[in-house]
């Protein structure tokens, strides 16, 4: 089962990287288009991917194929809102300073950007420090304890579906389907009301494909990768870093990849779904870049550019781990579970990015 999960992660990552590279998919770029040009094309592509991810993940969960309640986004009877909001905001600031999120820098690496290699290295170090190092101590001591406890309430599973069930009297399953249906329908109406977007077949097809790949990640790790451990005879999730169901996310896996490379001879460490999907996205972007003639080596424009990118990378590493994900890990994967915390993280991420974009625009105008 572990090999199925690993190869599945590689294949899903490869497809995600190829599609995202071909369509110029970038969440930070989409927000920049809105702030600077009032253009919603790439944002609609992201929202279409989100609608597909929500619909597919909900269908798999409701049919019993996977159990999204076991994911890190929904486990625990509390919501660490400060970590999610602040982490998302810091990640949003960081990705703007770094010129793109973790996903975009992986795509650029596949396209020959040595600058992105430096950004990813510093992000991985910062993410590892937030998981197990100095930053992690600060996170655990000051941020994670600030949370809303759900014990004794109807929200033992902190999702929009449970919240709707609590106020409407619907069953948990019925409320989940209703919440997902309303959200997906609203997203689709907004996405396709724009005639220009409807005519852009590349963006429409890419949005559908990217959302479907998030769903495929859930299925591979949560269904194909779920079974009996031959050593302990317990039902476990194979080859995931969180030891539970996962889909695409790119901040923590950079840290685990760095750890694996540095401690390769440590027999306790093994490749995981997150690591192979990360490798896959770079390979997918590389193949498309070579096929389209877009591959070119790229470095930093100046020392000032280097400093700004490193600061952004460090902020992304800390913010991504603290918020439990990035633009993909929370923006698509987390929100597809309908977890309330994922919406909080996404709001912080968008707010941090937009505020930084406007500050940089104001600064440029003054200069």
pLDDT higher than threshold 80 for residue 39: yes
- Say if residues 44 and 308 touch (Cβ distance below 8 Å): no
DSSP-derived pairing of the beta strands 235-237 and 226-228: antiparallel
Which residue would you say has higher pLDDT here, 292 or 155? 292
Partners of 227 in the β-ladder: 236
CA atoms within 13 A on the CB side of 53: 28
What pLDDT was estimated at residue 306? 95
Residue spans of the domains in the chain: they are 2-366
pLDDT higher than threshold 80 for residue 84: yes
Structure tokens at 145: 């304890």
Element (H, E) at 77: none
What pLDDT was estimated at residue 75? 86
Neighbours of 231 (CB within 10 A): 7
Look-up: residue for tokens 């695409």?
A: 248
- The rounded distance, in Å, linking the Cα atoms of 61 and 312 is 36
What pLDDT was estimated at residue 107? 98
- The rounded distance, in Å, linking the Cα atoms of 65 and 200 is 34
pLDDT in tens, 227-242: 988 888 799 999 999 9
Structure tokens at 116: 């992105």
For 228, phi then psi, to 5°, come to -85, 125
Partners of 148 in the β-ladder: 79
Neighbours of 292 (CB within 10 A): 11
- Say if residues 116 and 105 touch (Cβ distance below 8 Å): yes
pTM of the model: 0.97
Neighbours of 301 (CB within 10 A): 10
Partners of 298 in the β-ladder: 113
Neighbours of 355 (CB within 10 A): 15
pLDDT higher than threshold 80 for residue 156: no
Q: Which of 150, 157, 189, 184 is nearest to 173 (CA)?
A: 157
- The rounded distance, in Å, linking the Cα atoms of 94 and 55 is 30
Residue 40: band (very low, low, confident or very high) from pLDDT cuts 50, 70, 90: very high
User: How many residues comprise the chain?
Assistant: 367
């Amino acid at each position: 089962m572990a090999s199925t999960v690993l190869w599945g992660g590689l294949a899903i990552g490869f497809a995600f990287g190829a599609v995202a590279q071909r369509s110029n998919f970038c969440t930070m770029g989409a927000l920049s288009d809105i702030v600077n040009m009032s253009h919603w094309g790439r944002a609609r592509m992201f929202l279409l991917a989100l609608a597909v991810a929500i619909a597919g993940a909900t269908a798999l969960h409701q049919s019993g194929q996977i159990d999204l309640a076991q994911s890190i986004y929904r486990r625990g009877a509390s919501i660490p809102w400060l970590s999610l909001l602040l982490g998302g905001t810091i990640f949003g600031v960081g990705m703007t300073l770094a010129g793109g999120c973790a996903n975009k820098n992986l795509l650029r690496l596949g396209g020959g950007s040595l600058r992105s290699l430096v950004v990813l290295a510093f992000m991985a170090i910062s993410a590892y420090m937030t998981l197990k190092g100095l930053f992690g101590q600060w996170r655990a001591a000051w941020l994670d304890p600030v949370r809303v406890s759900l014990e004794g309430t109807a929200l033992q599973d902190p999702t929009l579906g449970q919240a709707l069930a609590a106020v409407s009297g619907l069953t948990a399953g019925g409320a989940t389907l209703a919440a997902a249906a309303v959200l997906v329908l609203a997203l689709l109406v907004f996405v396709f009301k724009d005639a220009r977007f409807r005519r852009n077949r590349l963006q429409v097809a890419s949005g559908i494909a990217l959302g479907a790949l998030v769903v495929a990640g859930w299925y591979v790790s949560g269904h194909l990768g779920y079974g009996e451990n031959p050593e302990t005879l317990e039902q476990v999730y194979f080859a995931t870093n969180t030891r539970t169901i996962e889909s695409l996310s790119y901040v923590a896996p950079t840290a685990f990849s760095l750890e694996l490379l540095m401690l390769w001879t440590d027999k306790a460490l093994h490749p995981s779904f997150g690591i192979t999907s990360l490798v896959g996205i770079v390979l997918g972007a590389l193949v498309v870049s070579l096929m389209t003639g877009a591959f070119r080596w790229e470095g930093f424009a100046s020392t000032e550019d280097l400093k700004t990118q490193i600061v952004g990378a460090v902020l992304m590493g800390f913010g991504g781990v603290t918020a439990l994900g990035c633009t993909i890990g929370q923006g698509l994967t987390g929100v597809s579970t309908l977890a309330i915390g994922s919406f909080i993280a996404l709001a912080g991420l968008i707010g941090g990015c937009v505020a930084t974009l406007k500050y940089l625009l104001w600064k440029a105008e003054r200069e």
